[in-house]
Amino acid sequence: MTMDRMISDRVKDVPPSGIRKFFDIASEMKDCISLGVGEPDFDTPWNIRESAIYALESGKTHYTSNHGSTELRKAILQYLNMQFGLIYELNQVLVTVGASEALDLVFRAIMNPGDEVLIPSPSYVAYMPGVSFAGGVPVPMRLKESDSFRITPEVLSSVITPKTKAIVIAFPNNPTGAVMKKADYEKIADIIIENDLIVIADEIYAELTYGEPHYSIAELPGMLERTVVINGFSKAFAMTGFRLGYAVGPKPLIDAMVKIHQFSMLCASSLSQEAGIEAIKYECSNDFPQVKKMTAEYNRRRRLMYAGLNEMGLSCFEPLGAFYIFPNISKTGLDSDEFCKRLLFEKKVACVPGSAFGDGMDNFIRCSYASSLDNLKEALARIKSFIESL
Amino acid sequence: MSNSLYGEILDLLENDARMGVEDIALMTGASADRVRQAIDTMEQEKVIVKYAAIVNREKVASEEAEALIEVKVIPKRGQGYDDLAERIYGFSEVKSVYLMSGAFDLSVIVHAKNMKQISQFVFEKLAVLEGVASTVTHFIMRKYKEQGVILMAKEQEERLVISP
């Protein structure tokens, strides 16, 4: 059988991840400082790890219900209510293998061939391929630095067609660090309702905001019944490797997602689910000590990076969420690919080119500040000397 | 003193006492002058008592010894425990003294050149003090964690260099 026949057109047509090629180069390099990491540098808090060990010892090694264990779903409901004022029933929660699985499920659950899904651009690299794999058509909403990378009514109206079925909303945003506030959502809510769109709200960075607390679009009138909120434990509790996420939303849609999940995944890891229960219970009953500590630490690094990059002449808008900063490199005359490649080879600092996160993002690079203070300072010094050498 | 800048500065200095004013200013978003002023105030008011290093003594292979001594006390009327605590914490061998709830009263941590010196300290200085009813000496054999820092930390698994 030829290679060409073996692979489906659907998969062939999706371009490879722009992050991947950088990964291969950077991971070979010695003494490289990476600002390319999309996960917390904090260890998972010990109480959470310890509860996973206990779960293993006490034999919690069986399948759980497809929806996820009742105890974890109850904990998730309590958490969403405490932190974001969201109210759901137990049968509106689905525990997934990371927020990534929840995204995949929702795309597959709603998509008919040719349906269009609006995706913020720039944004996390998995949305566009996810829509394509599910047989839909991803349509980028080109966000502008001058709008602080928020979705505006103008941008939204300009991309809606009769085929538009859903919109992905992903704030705090990877890679920009942008947030959307209640007032910003109010401006686009009418358009969403008029066009009867499903809202897929990826709120994985909801705990990491550095001004006002996160506001979920599901809280707006008329939104709860059309919104799937996707979240997980990776960013809020530094649990990336546990692969634990969840979706909450209208029951018919969650039911459809469960239908796929029960045949493809069956359930999320029982051990991870036990760890998730501990994560939420401990934080909810102690006023979120570890979440607050991590957020405070990220905030310090954010200020350091923001000041440092601006000071060396790389203008960037101030990120107010997640742990990324997205400086504009246009004044260097290099495009993002070349900038990142040269920075990597000449100064051994790894950043991710803006082009990996959407077309037309060639003037930007993504720097993650989920790294130690010493690393960040050294990286800033190296970037500065790189720019001066141009 | 409940000012959030003060709290931020304390968090940073507790983690790294050598952090400079400029860095603290960058990370808190306050001006360097305000940070300097806040640190001065906290030093004057003895909120910040001292800048010291956390040392892993095992690495310098010394004979030095440390012990935690439980002290039962007969408190004096009108003076409580404070007088006796003062008599104890005055000795240069004594690193810390805490008043405890529970089965004994004072927890005394003693540091000396070797175990013999600590024993000597206990029976020559501490146990014989008026008001000391009894002492139980526990020698510290190994330190796993000191002031929030794990001393015997294992090498951490590396994160992926680049991830989405």
Note the pLDDT tens digit of each residue in A109-134: 999 999 999 999 999 999 999 999 99
Tens of pLDDT, residue by residue over A41-80, are 999 999 999 999 999 999 999 999 999 999 999 999 999 9
C-alpha dihedral sign at A121, A123, A129, A135: negative
Does the structure show a pLDDT above 90 at A83? yes
Q: Are residues B88 and B131 located together in one domain of the fold?
A: yes
Q: Are residues B76 and B122 located together in one domain of the fold?
A: yes
Which residues have C-beta within 8 Å of that of residue A21, sequence separation ≥ 6?
none
Q: Strands A365-368 and A349-350: what pairing?
A: unpaired
Q: Domains along chain A?
A: 3-44+289-389 (3.90.1150.10), 62-285 (3.40.640.10)
Nearest CB among B8, B26, B160 relative to A37 is that of B160
Which residues have C-beta within 8 Å of that of residue A87, sequence separation ≥ 6?
A81
Q: Are residues B122 and B85 located together in one domain of the fold?
A: yes
Q: Among A14-18, A83-87, A328-332, B110-114, which stretch is predicted with the lowest mean pLDDT?
A: A14-18
User: Of the spans A168-172, A311-315, A354-358, which averages the highest pLDDT?
Assistant: A168-172
Kindly tell me the number of DSSP H helices and DSSP E strands found in chain A. Answer: 14, 12
ipTM over 0.85: no
B160 to A27: CB separation less than 8 angstroms, yes or no: yes
Domain of residue B91, residue span:
63-142
Q: Does A198 touch chain B (CB under 8 A)?
A: no
Q: Which residues of A268-290 are buried (b: 16+ CB within 10 A; e: fewer)?
A: bbbbbbbbbbbbbbbbeeeebeb
Confidence (pLDDT) at A297: 94
pLDDT of chain B, 164 residues: tens digit per residue: 446 899 999 999 999 999 999 999 999 999 999 999 999 999 999 999 999 999 888 888 678 899 999 999 998 888 889 999 999 999 999 999 999 999 999 999 999 999 999 999 999 999 999 999 999 999 999 999 988 888 877 766 678 888 88
pTM for this model (two decimals):
0.90
> Would you say residue B31 lies in a domain?
yes
Contacts of A22 in chain B (CB under 8 A): 162
CATH number of the domain that residue B27 is part of: 1.10.10
Cβ-Cβ contacts under 8 Å between A and B: the total is 58
Domain count for chain B:
2
Residues 325-384 in A contacting B (C-alpha not used; CB under 8 Å): 350, 352, 373, 377
